[in-house]
Amino acid sequence: MEDKPVVPAHLGIIMDGNGRWAKKRSLPRTAGHAEGLKALKRVICEAARQGIGYVTFYTFSTENWKRSEQEVKYLMHLFVSKIHGELAFYNKHGIRILARGDLNGLPEEVRHAIEQTVLETSNNTTITAIVAINYGGRDEICRAVNKFLSKNPGQGITETAIADNLDLPQVPPVDMIVRSANEKRLSNFLLWDSAYAELAFYEKFWPDWNEEDIRKVCHDYSQRVRKFGGVE
Ligand code: IPE
Ligand code: IPE
Ligand code: MG
């Protein structure tokens, strides 16, 4: 029997292009966000079928507050209604939800919806979906340093000290970061973990992503040679 191709243990996804997807159809940007959520559900199911253990979805960055009040309000409303509103879907598919980012900077209802969902999916074991929300890689590193210093005043900062104080130290570092909509940048996503992550960029707008796109990501990952500074 052929060996199953190696899949990333942890995949990071920068879900981009919701606005452009909507613009192309003369719809408001918010319609793109609603459609993007459907793509997320397709992708998480296929990621589980492929045997990926963790998927981090970049949902809202620390910079996304710069958008119009109307768009931010719509997104926050979407998070409140959908993060906990999809509980039956998570439980049906064995999806455990975790969150990464500065939850204290979110409206109370959003934080509550996340905390409830994390609690109520904690026994699911098929796949872990991590919602990166009010997330910034620089912000996470600063918070990790401050967390360490408050526990160990006056001590020197080491790589281990930072890694152990990131938001989810128990989660393995991301193996591959992919981005939709053809932008080739990280936009402050998982800066610490990305030191040795494989990167891949795809043209399709996020709301158009389906099962086939995740199979393509897995195939592309299986072709990479990871060296971590050593030799093959
Ligand atoms: C990604 O899509 C979703 C969020 C950042 C919340 P965008 O809204 O950035 O879509 P574009 O880049 O404007 O097309
Ligand atoms: C990154 O996308 C943030 C999320 C996907 C949540 P952006 O659309 O905000 O990034 P830039 O502004 O194009 O770099
Ligand atoms: Mg964008």
- Can you give the residue range of the structural domain that contains 176? 10-222
Mean pLDDT value of segment 110-126? 98
Say if 196 falls within a structural domain: yes
- Residues within 6 Å of ligand 2 by CB: 14-16, 58-61, 64, 183, 185, 187
**CB atoms near residue 203 (< 10 Å):** 9
**How many CB atoms lie under 10 A from the CB of residue 195?**
11
Domain count, the chain: 1
The answer for residues whose C-beta is within 8 angstroms of residue 215's C-beta and 6 or more apart is 46, 50
**CATH number of domain containing 24:** 3.40.1180.10
Neighbours of ion ligand 3 (CB under 5 A): 16
User: Mean pLDDT across the stretch 124-144?
Assistant: 98
Q: Residues annotated as binding site? A: 16-21, 29, 33, 61-63, 65, 67, 179, 185-187, 198
Which pLDDT tens digit goes with each residue over 39-89?
999 999 999 999 999 999 999 999 999 999 999 999 999 999 999 999 999
Residue 172 lies in a domain: yes
18 Cα–ligand 1 center, Å: 5
The DSSP element (H or E) to which 131 belongs, if any, is: strand 127-135
Phi, psi of 221 (to 5 degrees): -65, -40
> Is residue 16 among the annotated active site residues?
yes
From the CA of 58, how far away is ligand 3's center (Å)? 11
167 catalytically annotated:
no
Q: Is 217 a member of any domain?
A: yes
CA distance 70 to 6: 43
d(CA 150, CA 171): 23
More confident residue, 230 or 3: 230
Domain membership of residue 193 (yes or no) is: yes
CB atoms within 10 A of CB 209: 26
Neighbour-count burial of 215, counting CB atoms closer than 10 A to its CB (0-12 exposed, 13-18 middle, 19+ buried): middle
Do the domain assignments include residue 232? no
Please tell me the number of the ligand nearest to residue 187's CA. 2
What percent of the chain shows pLDDT beyond 70? 98
Residue 232's pLDDT band (cuts 50, 70, 90): confident
Q: Let me know if residue 227 belongs to a domain.
A: no
Residue 2 resides in a domain: no
- Residue 1 belongs to a domain: no
pLDDT digits (tens, 9 = 90+) for 149-206: 999 999 999 999 999 999 999 999 999 999 999 999 999 999 999 999 999 999 999 9
Q: Indicate the average pLDDT of the chain.
A: 97
Whether the predicted pLDDT of 5 surpasses 80: no
Q: What is residue 3's predicted lDDT score, i.e. its pLDDT?
A: 55
Cα 64 vs. chain centroid, distance in angstroms? 15
